[in-house]
Amino acid sequence: MFPSPTRMFLTKGVGVHRHALTAFEFALRDGDIEQQNLVYVSSILPPRCEVITREAGAELLKPGDITFCVMARSETNEFGRHIYASLGLAKPADPEMYGYISEQHGYGMTAEAAGEQAEDLAATMLASTLGLDFDPDAAWNERKQIYEHSHLIIDSTSITATAECGPDDRWTCVVAAAVFLFFLTRHVAAVLGSRLNQPTK
């Protein structure tokens, strides 16, 4: 079994280039995660996983590491097209409970609207898991107050990258990512090391 992440940080980036893949690389560079071997995972914040700043998280990354992340990505080479990639994060008050990360991407939505919708998705998924009684059709601000007053959800937030595609058929790419980090205790490191060093049959 792989150990659970102990830290996580949010990041975002924008890249532009005549090749789509290079535009994606530039977006990763803008988000400080271009040197990682990224593995995409689904959208659970593990219990007791500390959310740290992008600056602190980037300093802990080593080039070539296999790095798990939740990522939203959007790209286009259509002149004037507006794109966005957004993540929402909802943390429970109980540190032994898991949280939710929602991702969404698309066209035409402003950064504020995309971030609000992503945050809404994450908080609503967590609220339903915690058994909160709410009207799913109510406005987000109304439901957010219910979540906050319940004292079961300690925090919700979002991060969004947006861009508008320029001329000359150049690709524009936006990414938003929740990057997971591992801090291994000596015991866990020793166990994993012994397993890795076992001879194959």
- Which regions of the chain are under pLDDT 70? 1, 184-201
Alpha helices, DSSP H, located in 130-174: 140-150
Q: Where are the alpha helices (DSSP H) in 36-176?
A: 54-60, 111-129, 140-150
Yes or no: say if 159 and 115 are a contact pair by the CB < 8 Å rule: yes
Query: What is the rounded average pLDDT for all residues in the chain?
Result: 89
pLDDT at position 189:
47
What's the confidence (pLDDT) of residue 176? 98
**Nearest to 78, CA basis, from 114, 110, 108, 105:** 108
- Residue 132: per-residue pLDDT: 85
pLDDT for the residue numbered 74: 98
- Residues 154 and 93: their CA atoms lie apart, in Å, by 5
**b/e map 46-80, b = 16+ CB within 10 Å:** eeebebbebeebbeebeeeeebbbbbbbbbbbeee
Distances 136 to 90, 127, 179 between C-alpha atoms, Å? 16, 10, 29
Domains of the chain (ranges plus CATH)? 7-196 (3.50.20.10)
**pLDDT tens string 163-188:** 999 988 899 999 999 999 987 545 44
Cβ atoms within 10 A of the Cβ of 40, count?
A: 11
- In this predicted structure, what is the pLDDT of residue 143? 82
Strand partners of residue 114: none
Q: HSE-up of 6 (CA within 13 Å, CB side)?
A: 7
Question: What is the predicted pLDDT for the residue at 135?
Answer: 79
pTM of the model: 0.86
